[in-house]
């Protein structure tokens, strides 16, 4: 595994409390128990998730795969507190996220989670530097000096230092996703969720982005969960959960045979 | 907050043409209101000055009940010497008063030995009258700007109608309180320009002559006109003087005096009020312009940036911050419009003044337009624009802050 080149990055101390049991043994970062999600489309009920149960350990590099409509995005939205399950229990970083209100959800996302989007979703009026700085400034109210240190370290980590003053429309898709990775990591979250992060990139760039995410996991111990269609990209995950028709159809650890 | 403001301004500049158009509309509205207020203010100030400085004074004191019968110029409601002495004591103690002038007003017959007509006359002490209404001598079209005993100033219309010239001898015949008639010859010393408002077509004689014509055994006074050092303090001083004079009671224990400001004596006050009402409606139009244009821009901004709102909400931006961001965009537009509008308005007012534009009003020719604006008015207008800009942004900003991130992220 290539050693990440990171200089001067200041890591926040991660709280052991929510993720450790009384004996000090690491607890699962995510625990999903019989999670259901039903959407109401007019009079038609769409059962997007049908009793999904799984767990993810801290520091894991996990992928959810499956055909379109299998429930990948729905599951990532539930984990990311962007939506609420209809039934079941979903615990993320020790918090039952199904009970969080609008403000609590926003606070939880800002503190514990990072997001990488398929379309990059950078703020077009902000430079690369400012996009990465945004969560520290607008979400966590981090002092200026610390902000600067963290942003510069992450710019270097994702190889975007020279482009720091450019606006998003002045950089390539792969570079945008690098910036998005840096923005997701800048708050030092416990978990980064990436929904189809490579869908809009060519294969080589997609591979580089996945490699970057992996390096970041190795450097900061951040758990990464991503969804993808690309079979070659899927292979980069250490744990692969396969979803079919709203159900967990199989789990596969890297190098192991799939089991359902 | 500074960073939030920077993002807000950048968001506005993202749609440069739309932002410039909206800011221009607000600027135009502010300019229009400022110029309107300054020009109508100039006209209003000229009319007020004409009324107060050439006829009425800033305020007047009469015997209680006089003003209700003022059209008849009732001699039986004059202030007696005792009351006048009490009034003088009060007036002399007021530091706000620059000058005051007692007047005897009465109706009389005016005869040229060939023709006779009626005339309203003011008996005045010239020195005190000129100090109280300093523009009175400026109304003299022909003759001298002084008034000695045995002389009369007659109104312009009367002079033309009866073909009376300066230096002619005329006879004034008046009935006194007892009903007896007395007459006396006067030399025409001046012809007065007629102006609109009460007393605008009155003649003037010396107060001692007036007392003589009316055969007053003791000096009585119909009214006392007062000029203040600071016109802006008129309302406060009027209230103060009213309270002081309320304590001056007659033998029946009732107040002797009544105090009226020029507004209550001159019909021009209604015109001044109309100007104020027009100004108010101009401001309402400006408010409507700001409200509609900013609301339109902000609704568009929210609609066009739904996915962006979803992104910043997803990464944990609190709803209050999102609300603040959009409010700041509206605020920035309002501030830009207010500052630009005030600056352009000030330049236009300056140009109007250096251009020395003149206008005619009634019989008055070549009145100089002196457009002025109170900095407080500019400040108040700017604050109104900014507050309305924020109010106009409230609904779109609230909508943005309440957006569900998952729905916003799905928006195409």
Domain locations in chain A as residue ranges? 58-85+100-253
User: Of B11, B314, B316, which has the smallest distance from its Cβ to A107's Cβ?
Assistant: B316
Q: What angle do the packed helices B16-51 and B375-401 form, to 10 degrees? A: 150
Tokens (6 digits) for B88: 């003088």
Q: Which of A55, A67, A54 is nearest to A27 (CA)?
A: A55
Average pLDDT across chain A, whole number: 84
Q: How far is B163 from B112, CA to CA, in rounded Å?
A: 9
Q: Which of A15-29, A84-98, A106-120, A163-177 has the lowest mean pLDDT?
A: A15-29
Q: How far is A50 from chain B (nearest CA, A)?
A: 20
* DSSP structure class, residue A7: -
Q: Which residues of chain A are within 8 Å of residue B4 when distances are taken between CB atoms?
A: 138
Three-state secondary structure call for residue B227: strand
- Given CB atoms, is A195 within the 8 Å cutoff of chain B? no
Q: What is the pLDDT of residue A260?
A: 53
pLDDT-derived band of residue A12, with 50, 70 and 90 as boundaries? very low
Q: Which residues of chain B are within 8 Å of residue A111 when distances are taken between CB atoms?
A: 316
Judged against a pLDDT cut of 90, whether residue A20 lies above it is answered with no
Q: What is the pLDDT of residue A79?
A: 94
Q: How far is A65 from chain B (nearest CA, A)?
A: 20
For chain B, the maximum distance between any two Cα atoms, rounded to a whole number of angstroms, is: 101
- Given CB atoms, is B363 within the 8 Å cutoff of chain A? no
Q: What is the pLDDT of residue B243?
A: 92
Q: Which residues of chain A are within 8 Å of residue B13 when distances are taken between CB atoms?
A: 125
Q: What is the pLDDT of residue B241?
A: 93
Q: What is the pLDDT of residue B196?
A: 64
- Is B26 exposed, middle or buried, given 0-12, 13-18 or 19+ CB atoms closer than 10 A? buried
Per-residue pLDDT tens for B176-227?
888 889 999 999 999 988 776 666 678 999 999 999 999 998 889 999 999 9
pLDDT-derived band of residue A8, with 50, 70 and 90 as boundaries? very low
Q: What is the pLDDT of residue B199?
A: 64
Q: Which residues of chain B are within 8 Å of residue A82 when distances are taken between CB atoms?
A: 314, 405-406, 409
Q: Which residues of chain A are within 8 Å of residue B321 when distances are taken between CB atoms?
A: 138
Residues above pLDDT 70, as percent of chain B: 98
In contact, B30 and B381? CB cutoff 8 Å:
yes
**Residue B333 phi/psi, 5° resolution?**
-60, -45
Top-confidence residue, A4 or A250: A250
Cβ-Cβ pairs closer than 8 A, A with B, add up to: 69
Tokens (6 digits) for B135: 């523009």
Evaluate if pTM is beyond 0.90.
no
- Given CB atoms, is B411 within the 8 Å cutoff of chain A? no
Q: What is the mean pLDDT of residues A13-19?
A: 38
Tokens (6 digits) for A52: 């999904």
CATH hierarchy code of domain A58-85+100-253: 3.40.50.300
Report strand pairing: B223-228 vs B59-63: antiparallel
Q: How far is B139 from B363, CA to CA, in rounded Å?
A: 12
Per-residue pLDDT tens for A59-109?
999 999 988 888 999 999 999 999 999 999 999 998 998 888 888 899 999
> Cα(first)–Cα(last) distance of chain B, in Å?
30
Tell which of B313, B314, B402 to mutate to test the A interface (max A CBs under 10 Å): B314
- Given CB atoms, is B4 within the 8 Å cutoff of chain A? yes
Q: What is the pLDDT of residue A4?
A: 37
Q: What is the mean pLDDT of residues A127-145?
A: 90
Q: What is the pLDDT of residue B197?
A: 62
Top-confidence residue, B70 or B336: B336
* DSSP structure class, residue A92: E
Residues in CB range of B1: below 8 A, 6 or more apart:
none
Q: How far is B219 from B78, CA to CA, in rounded Å?
A: 10
Go through A1-21 and write b for each residue having 16 or more CB atoms within 10 A of its CB, e for each that does not: eeeeebeebeeeebeeeebee
Q: What is the mean pLDDT of residues B236-248?
A: 91
User: Of B14, B307, B319, which has the smallest distance from its Cβ to A102's Cβ?
Assistant: B319
Q: How far is A124 from A120, CA to CA, in rounded Å?
A: 11
- Given CB atoms, is A34 within the 8 Å cutoff of chain B? no
- Residue in this structure with the two tokens 């008063």, named with its chain if needed: B97
Q: How far is A257 from chain B (nearest CA, A)?
A: 35
Q: What is the pLDDT of residue A258?
A: 53
- Given CB atoms, is B160 within the 8 Å cutoff of chain A? no
pLDDT-derived band of residue B234, with 50, 70 and 90 as boundaries? very high
Per-residue pLDDT tens for A194-240?
998 888 888 888 888 888 889 889 888 899 999 987 777 888 889 99
Q: What is the pLDDT of residue A26?
A: 56
Tokens (6 digits) for A150: 């963290």
Q: How far is B372 from chain A (nearest CA, A)?
A: 42
Closest A-chain CA to B9: A125
Interchain proximity B316–A106, CB inside 8 Å:
yes
């Amino acid at each position: 595994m290539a050693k990440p080149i990171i200089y001067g990055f200041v890591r926040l101390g991660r709280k052991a409390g929510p993720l450790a049991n009384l004996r000090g043994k690491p607890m699962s970062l995510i625990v999903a128990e019989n999670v259901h999600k039903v959407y109401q489309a007019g009079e038609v009920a769409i059962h997007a998730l049908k009793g999904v149960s799984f767990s993810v350990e801290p520091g894991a590099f996990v992928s959810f795969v499956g055909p379109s409509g299998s429930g990948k995005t729905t599951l990532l939205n539930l984990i990311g507190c962007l939506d609420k399950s209809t039934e079941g229990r979903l615990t993320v970083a020790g918090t039952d996220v199904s009970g969080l209100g609008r403000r609590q959800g926003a606070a939880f996302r800002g503190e514990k989670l990072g997001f990488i989007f398929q379309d990059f979703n950078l703020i077009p009026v902000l430079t690369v530097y400012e996009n990465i700085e945004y969560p520290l400034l607008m979400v966590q109210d981090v002092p200026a000096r610390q902000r600067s240190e963290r942003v510069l370290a992450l710019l270097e980590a994702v190889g975007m230092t020279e482009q720091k003053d450019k606006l998003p429309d002045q950089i390539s898709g792969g570079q945008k996703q690098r910036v998005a990775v840096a923005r997701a990591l800048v708050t030092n979250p416990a978990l980064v969720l990436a929904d189809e992060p490579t869908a809009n990139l060519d294969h080589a760039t997609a591979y580089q982005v996945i490699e970057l995410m992996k390096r970041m996991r190795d450097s900061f111990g951040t758990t990464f969960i991503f969804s993808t269609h690309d079979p070659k990209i899927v292979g980069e995950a250490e744990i692969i959960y396969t979803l079919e028709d709203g159900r967990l159809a199989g789990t596969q650890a890297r190098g192991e045979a799939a089991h359902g | 907050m500074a960073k939030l403001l920077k993002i807000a301004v950048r968001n506005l500049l993202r749609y440069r043409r739309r932002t410039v158009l909206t800011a221009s509309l607000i600027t135009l509205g502010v300019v229009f209101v400022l110029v309107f207020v300054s020009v109508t203010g100039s006209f209003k100030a000229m009319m007020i000055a004409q009324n107060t400085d050439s006829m009425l004074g800033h305020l007047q004191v009469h015997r209680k009940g006089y003003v209700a019968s003022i059209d008849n110029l009732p001699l039986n409601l004059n202030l007696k010497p005792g009351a006048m002495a009490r009034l003088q004591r009060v007036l002399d103690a007021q530091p706000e008063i620059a000058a005051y002038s007692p007047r005897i007003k009465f109706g009389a017959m005016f005869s040229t030995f060939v023709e006779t007509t009626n005339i309203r006359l003011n008996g005045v002490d010239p020195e005190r009258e000129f100090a109280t209404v300093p523009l009175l001598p400026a109304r003299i079209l022909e003759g001298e700007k002084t008034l000695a005993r045995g002389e009369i100033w007659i109104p312009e219309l009367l002079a033309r109608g009866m073909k009376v010239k300066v230096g002619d001898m005329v006879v004034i015949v008046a009935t006194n309180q007892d009903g007896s008639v007395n007459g006396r010859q006067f030399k025409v010393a001046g012809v007065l320009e007629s102006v609109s408002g009460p007393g605008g077509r009155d003649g003037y004689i010396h107060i001692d002559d007036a007392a003589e014509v009316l055969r007053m055994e003791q000096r009585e006074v119909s009214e006392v006109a007062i000029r203040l050092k600071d016109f802006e303090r008129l309302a406060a001083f009027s209230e103060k003087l009213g309270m002081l004079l309320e304590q001056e009671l007659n033998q029946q224990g009732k107040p002797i005096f009544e105090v009226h400001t020029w507004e209550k004596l001159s019909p021009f006050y209604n015109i001044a009020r109309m100007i104020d009402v027009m100004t108010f409606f101009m401001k309402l139009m400006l408010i409507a312009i700001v409200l509609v244009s900013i609301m339109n821009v902000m609704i568009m901004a929210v609609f066009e940036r739904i996915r962006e709102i979803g992104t910043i909400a997803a990464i944990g931006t609190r709803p209050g911050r999102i609300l603040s961001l959009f409010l700041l965009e509206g605020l920035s537009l309002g501030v830009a419009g207010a500052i630009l509008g005030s600056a352009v308005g000030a330049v236009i007012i300056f140009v109007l003044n250096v251009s020395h534009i003149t206008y005619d009003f009634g019989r008055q020719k070549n009145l100089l337009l002196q457009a002025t604006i109170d900095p407080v008015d500019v400040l108040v207008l700017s604050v109104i624009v900014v507050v309305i800009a924020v109010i106009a942004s409230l609904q779109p900003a609230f909508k943005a802050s309440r957006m569900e991130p998952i729905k916003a992220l799905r928006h195409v």
